[in-house]
A and B are shown apart, each in its own frame.
Chain A
Amino acid sequence: MTKAERRELQERQRAAKAAKTAAGPAAGTPTVNVKGGGGGKLAQPSTPASPAPKKGGTSQGAAQAKALAAAVVTGPAKGAKDAKAAAGVGEDIVGSRGLRIFSHFALQKTAGHVAKGDVHPAIVRLGLMFAEFKVCGANARCIATLSVFKQVIQDYVTPQHNTLSRHLNTHLSVQISHLVSARPMSVTMGNAIRQLKLEISGSDIDLPEQDAKDELCHKIDNYIRDRIIIADQVIQETAMKKIHDGDVVLTYARSSVVEQVLLEAWSEGTQFSVYVVDSRPMLEGKRLLSVLAAASIPCTYLLLPALGSVITEISTVFVGAHSIHSNGAVYSRAGTALVAMMAKQHSVPVVVCCETYKFSEGVQLDSFTKNELAPLGDRFSSFPLTRPRESLTLQNRPNLEILNPLYDLTPPSSITAVVTEVGVIPPDSISSIPLALGRQMI
Chain B
Amino acid sequence: MTSASSRSILTHSIPEHEEAFSPSFDIYEAYQRALTNPEVRVSPYPSSFLSDSLHKISAPLAAILSLTELITQSDAGTMFELVKALNDGAEALKKRVHNPIGLNAGSELFIAFVTLFPHESASFSELKTELVRQGQIYATEALLFRPKIAELALGFIKDDSIILTHSYSRVVMQTLLHAHKRKRISVYVTEARPRGLGIKTCEALTAAGIPCTVVLDSAVAYVMDKVDFILVGSEAVVESGGLINAVGSNQMAIIAKAANKPFYALAESYKFHRLFPLSQDDLPTHNPGILSFSQPQHHLTPELVARPSVSSTSRPALKTSINSSSTPNTLLPASSVQRTMTDEQISRNPDVDYTRPDLISLVFSDVGILTPEGVSQYLVGMFAG
List A residues at the B interface (Cβ < 8 Å). Answer: 242, 244-246, 315-316, 349, 351, 416-417, 422-426, 428-429, 432-433, 435-438
Contacts and interface: CB of A to CB of B under 8 A. Distances in A.
Contacts of B377: 428-429, 432
Contacts of A351: 278
B281 interface: yes
B239 interface: yes
B113 interface: no
Interface residues of B, number: 20
Interface of B is mostly: helix
B156 interface: no
**Those 5 A-B pairs whose CB atoms lie nearest each other, nearest first:** A424-B276, A246-B1, A349-B278, A422-B384, A428-B373
B380 A429 contact: yes
B274 A423 contact: yes
A429 B373 contact: yes
A244 B281 contact: yes
A429 B377 CA distance: 5
Contacts of B4: 245-246
Given A245-B4, A436-B381, A426 B376 contact: yes
Contacts of A429: 373, 376-377, 380
B278 A436 contact: no
A437 B385 contact: yes
A437 B384 contact: yes
B282 interface: yes
Interface in B277-298: 278-279, 281-282
Greatest chain B CB density within 10 A among A416, A424, A429, A437 is at A429
Contacts of A432: 377, 380-381
Contact of B278 (A316, A422, A435): A316
B107 interface: no
B165 interface: no
A244 B286 CA distance: 11
A315 B279 CA distance: 9
Nearest to A349: B278
23 contacts: A242-B278, A246-B1, A315-B279, A417-B240, A423-B239, A423-B274, A423-B276, A423-B380, A423-B383, A424-B239, A425-B276, A425-B376, A425-B380, A426-B239, A426-B276, A426-B376, A428-B241, A428-B373, A429-B380, A435-B381, A436-B384, A437-B385, A438-B385
B355 to A, nearest CB: 14
A316 B279 CA distance: 9
A425 B381 contact: no
Nearest to A419: B276
B248 interface: no
A248 to B, nearest CB: 10
Contact of B357 (A316, A349, A423, A426): A426
A316 B333 CA distance: 48
Nearest to A432: B377
A242 B241 CA distance: 18
Nearest to A248: B1
Contacts of A433: 380, 384
Contacts of B240: 416-417, 426
Interface string B1-38: 10010000000000000000000000000000000000
Contacts of A437: 384-385
B384 A423 contact: yes
Nearest to A316: B278
Greatest chain A CB density within 10 A among B241, B278, B279, B373 is at B278
A65 to B, nearest CB: 52
B237 to A, nearest CB: 13
A349 B281 CA distance: 12
A426 B380 CA distance: 10
A394 B276 CA distance: 45
Contacts of B380: 422-423, 425, 429, 432-433, 436
Interface in B147-165: none
Contacts of A423: 239, 274, 276, 380, 383-384
B272 to A, nearest CB: 13
B363 to A, nearest CB: 14
B276 A417 contact: yes
B376 A242 contact: no
A436 B385 contact: yes
Contacts of B376: 425-426, 428-429
A41 to B, nearest CB: 45
Contacts of A242: 278, 282
Given A246-B4, A429-B373, A416 B381 contact: no
A438 B380 CA distance: 13
A349 B356 CA distance: 11
Contacts of A246: 1, 4
B228 to A, nearest CB: 27
Contacts of B383: 423
A188 B10 CA distance: 47
Greatest chain B CB density within 10 A among A315, A426, A433, A438 is at A426
